[in-house]
Structure 1
Amino acid sequence: MKYVEQIKSLLLAFLVLLSIVFTLLIWNYKPEYETIKETQIEEVLVGKPKDLQEVIKPYRLLYRQNDQFYGTVSSTPLKGLYKHLRSWQVYEMELIKNDLSDSKMNEMVRTNNRITMFYNEEIPLRVFSNLLSYNENEIPDASFTRLIIDWSNVENSDQIQLLFLNTEKRLYYRAYASVPDKDYFMEKVIEPANDYSQYVEVERDALRSLYVAKDPIQSARYRYLAEEIKPDLFKKILFTDLKIVQRNIESSQSERFTDGTSLMTVDSQNRIINYVYPTAESIAPIPPARLLIDSFNYINDHGGFSMDYRLSSMNIGRHSTEYQLFVQGLPVYSDVTITRLVTTWGENRIFRYRRPYYSIGSVFQRVPRELESGEQIIESLRKNDNNLFKETEEIVVGYELTQEKSEEDTDIIVLEPRWFAVTNNEWTRLSPQEIGGDEFGLE
């Protein structure tokens, strides 16, 4: 036992030294981590994203000068007018009247040196302000259905008036705008109107007037190739985790996709996608401006405005927004095939989304058509359905869409021009007399 104490001391020293070595090793240890690769999120688009002004479009421009009406539905003049709007400095917006009568509205439209822009739905001023250079911070929480541009004093003062009319709520807001280049404005916006179609005002007792083309409408029946937007693209857009999405074929023309919380159905006969996320349903109020922007951003984020879709309706209580298909400046309607994008907003996200998954391709056939003049249509409507004449909000030329198969079993979209009466966002075909020519193809 002579060396026990020395052995203990040596063992203790060894343990202390070993502890120091381990500590130094831990301090200086640098593990070789693998480089973390960023997850690439696939961007899925069904079309090109659009600017807000391409979706908030009027369906008609109506000019009043020299006691005559001239109108157009062409997108080209509208695009030019919107370009001018962006360059104007708008100021002094104020409420002028909150009990506007129908007769006063008619008078405002028929006043000389004015352009009236007709919209299908109430446009929130706080949304439309994105298309203007507005010099004031506070924008009224209001909306309009017609925008009247009064250029009576532009040549003397470089100033125009903007009259925002809400035909439903009978409100009238006025603002002023400075025009930076009045000569260019007159040359590019006003003077071309002399070559547009002549329109006539159809007055109705104690009602707003209707405005229709004076002469017969020269149009055409078109046949287009139908192009399909693959439903799988919408599956990638609408579901967050594709690994858990299950597919169920219900019939040869219907299938369902679900991840347990949301459902997408595909109607292959009519090319309709219908998506619903039930848990997002909400009855909490949503301001009109926010509802419009949320629905626009949702569709636009995946390029969902794949054709010329324009705002046509909003139901604030139901949180729904609809966008109508237009072709060559005319609205497109159908008894069977859906021609609208419909969204219902929920609690901070989409609740329901319904849309077509076809696109109109190249035109390969054109058949001349001549529709009756607006005056003839009005006269016929007065005689045959005076109630509809009194109740209708608008008389327009549009296309009726049908589908057919070619001899090669190719899907064809047929657009037939017709007169329509529009009331509460619902359309009624007026079946005008049509005079056609021989069919011929377009190269």
Structure 2
Amino acid sequence: MRSKELIKSIILILLVLMSVVLTYMTWNFSPDLANVDNQDSNNKASEANTIGKPLSEGMDQVITPYQVVHSKSEKTEGMAATKQNVESTLKPLKNHRVLHAEQMHSNHNLIIPDLTDEFLIFDFSYDMPLATYLGQALNIDAKVPNNFKFDRLIIDNNEDGNVKLYAISKDRHNVVRMTTSAKLSNFKKVVKTQHKYMQPYTEIITNKDTIDRATHIFAPKAPKALKSYHTIYNRISVDTMNSILFNDSVVVRSTKSSTATYNNNTGVANYNDESEKYRYTNLSEDENRSTNMQDSIPSTFDYINNHGGFTDDFRLFNIDNKNGELTYQMFLNGRPTFNDDDLNNIKVSWGDKGVFSYARALLKANVTIDSGEDDTKLPGAETVRSELANNPEINFEKVTNMTIGYNMEDKPDKSDIEIQRNSEFKPQWYVQYDGKWRAYEDGGLE
């Protein structure tokens, strides 16, 4: 009996001591917020240095053709270059290698004697280094001629069993013929599935360099009625752009009317809050931009993508090899968009060690919907060709490309308390004339 009382007493004493210890720890508890503060600070810094989510698919989502054309004997079909169409068509080519390559030159019209009567064409709106496209967009191991640039890639339906590629230069006088390890049977299966997206295309000859089947200009023969679209934008903050481009603290040097200037020891940026256009120049780089596109294309892609700068369907659309500036342009439904005020593009150039200049509108699409307007019926390619060829103010030999795109009309809604930026996208013919894309209208070029 006495032993039971003793045990109860010991247990009671232990409980009292535990209560005292817990009470003391509660009164003296001080949470360590250092890590929490640091984590929160790091999250905010990370958010401040990004515009959106980086692309996970890789460079082939941005370095793409603007159209895909299939030619077989007298029948020619083509399709807009939606991401899904391009990805599916190129998949059989990726992750292979070039077994053999040789360059051919012609002083006159380029003729490829071993090209069969059936082939697929990828048309690009710019000329780019072949090694860069094969190696970094398609992950093809290739030894090809240094500094060779192309703007058309042909995949031939040969009888050898392996895929043969022909990369054609912009001037249509040079071609690199390549035999790859990719199996032609796999490629033909994919092309067959893509025919449901194709429509009749026509072949156009504009000068002595486009008279062969491999060098024709291809464009939709009788375009289907196309919808117009309405887009509402979100804004990208100036502070976010400054945090991305400036290495340290930035100072507002001046604010005048609707324009603000920001700078530090390494760079200067200008922003206009009416046009919502932002331009940065890196003062620490050399005055001359790099014109080496084998470095500039992957470098600018990585730079923009790392901070989520491809907020919409931006794709490389123009390369200024002389000034070193690259233009990434917004696409809609696989078709390029055009805007006179450059609200639809990112212009960037590279220096010796980093970005030299960076310009864009601080807008990103929030929602894009059918505008509700009647579908637009555009004239056929032959009508466009005929009217341009007969226009005395146009030298038709300078026409190098024709395509259907969207005219981006900027329409701010001033009826709202906070002005909402809107745009209307309307389908229209566009013609690359003397190196520049211009809208076709009423038999002429705007």
Q: TM-score, normalised by structure 2?
A: 0.79
* Counterpart for residue 383 of structure 2: 376
Unaligned segments of structure 1, at least 5 residues? 1-33, 434-443
Once the two structures are TM-superposed, the CA of residue 356 in structure 1 deviates from its matched residue by: 1.6
* Counterpart for residue 113 of structure 1: 118
Once the two structures are TM-superposed, the CA of residue 315 in structure 1 deviates from its matched residue by: 2.8
Matching of residue 332 in structure 1 with residue 337 in structure 2: yes
Unaligned segments of structure 2, at least 5 residues? 1-33, 211-215
State the secondary structure of the residue aligned to 2:309.
Answer: coil
Match of 1:203 among 202, 205, 210: 205
State how far apart, in whole Å, the 2-side matches of 1:123 and 1:189 are.
Answer: 25
Amino acid corresponding to residue 131 of structure 1 in structure 2: A
Matching of residue 219 in structure 1 with residue 223 in structure 2: no
Amino acid corresponding to residue 147 of structure 2 in structure 1: D
Once the two structures are TM-superposed, the CA of residue 189 in structure 1 deviates from its matched residue by: 1.8
Matching of residue 268 in structure 1 with residue 273 in structure 2: yes
Can you list the C-alpha shifts for 1:263-285, whole angstroms capped at 9, x where unaligned? 11112222211111234134486
Between 1:291-300 and 1:50-59, the stretch displaced more is 291-300
State how far apart, in whole Å, the 2-side matches of 1:397 and 1:45 are.
Answer: 33
* Counterpart for residue 161 of structure 2: 158
Once the two structures are TM-superposed, the CA of residue 84 in structure 1 deviates from its matched residue by: 1.7
* Counterpart for residue 19 of structure 2: none
Match of 1:179 among 163, 182, 193: 182
Alignment of 1:130-145 (within 5 A): 130-132=136-138, 134-135=140-141, 140-145=146-151
Between 1:50-59 and 1:138-147, the stretch displaced more is 138-147
Once the two structures are TM-superposed, the CA of residue 430 in structure 1 deviates from its matched residue by: 1.1
State how far apart, in whole Å, the 2-side matches of 1:108 and 1:265 are.
Answer: 54
CA contact 2:220–2:403 (8 Å) conserved in 1:
no
| Distance change (3 Å), C-alpha of 1:431 and 1:377 | same
CA contact 2:235–2:363 (8 Å) conserved in 1:
yes
Once the two structures are TM-superposed, the CA of residue 410 in structure 1 deviates from its matched residue by: 2.7
Can you list the C-alpha shifts for 1:290-349, whole angstroms capped at 9, x where unaligned? 122222222222121221222222233423222222111111111224322111222312
Amino acid corresponding to residue 163 of structure 1 in structure 2: Y
* Counterpart for residue 249 of structure 1: 255
Matching of residue 416 in structure 1 with residue 426 in structure 2: yes
State the secondary structure of the residue aligned to 1:281.
Answer: coil
* Counterpart for residue 366 of structure 1: 372
CA contact 2:63–2:137 (8 Å) conserved in 1:
no
State how far apart, in whole Å, the 1-side matches of 2:209 and 2:174 are.
Answer: 16
Match of 1:298 among 303, 309, 330: 303
Instruction: Kindly report the root-mean-square deviation, in angstroms, between the aligned alpha carbons of the 2 structures.
Output: 2.8
CA contact 1:398–1:417 (8 Å) conserved in 2:
yes
| Distance change (3 Å), C-alpha of 1:143 and 1:303 | same
Once the two structures are TM-superposed, the CA of residue 116 in structure 1 deviates from its matched residue by: 0.8
State the secondary structure of the residue aligned to 2:337.
Answer: strand
State the secondary structure of the residue aligned to 1:240.
Answer: coil
* Counterpart for residue 7 of structure 2: none
Percent of aligned pairs sharing the same letter:
19
State how far apart, in whole Å, the 2-side matches of 1:414 and 1:161 are.
Answer: 42
* Counterpart for residue 94 of structure 2: 86
Can you list the C-alpha shifts for 1:119-149, whole angstroms capped at 9, x where unaligned? 1122212212223454556764322111100
State how far apart, in whole Å, the 1-side matches of 2:144 and 2:399 are.
Answer: 36
State the secondary structure of the residue aligned to 1:149.
Answer: strand
| Distance change (3 Å), C-alpha of 1:278 and 1:94 | same
| Distance change (3 Å), C-alpha of 1:284 and 1:236 | closer
CA contact 1:77–1:189 (8 Å) conserved in 2:
no
Can you list the C-alpha shifts for 1:175-203, whole angstroms capped at 9, x where unaligned? 11233582x43232235326511111112
Can you list the C-alpha shifts for 1:197-233, whole angstroms capped at 9, x where unaligned? 1111112341323222111432122111122122221
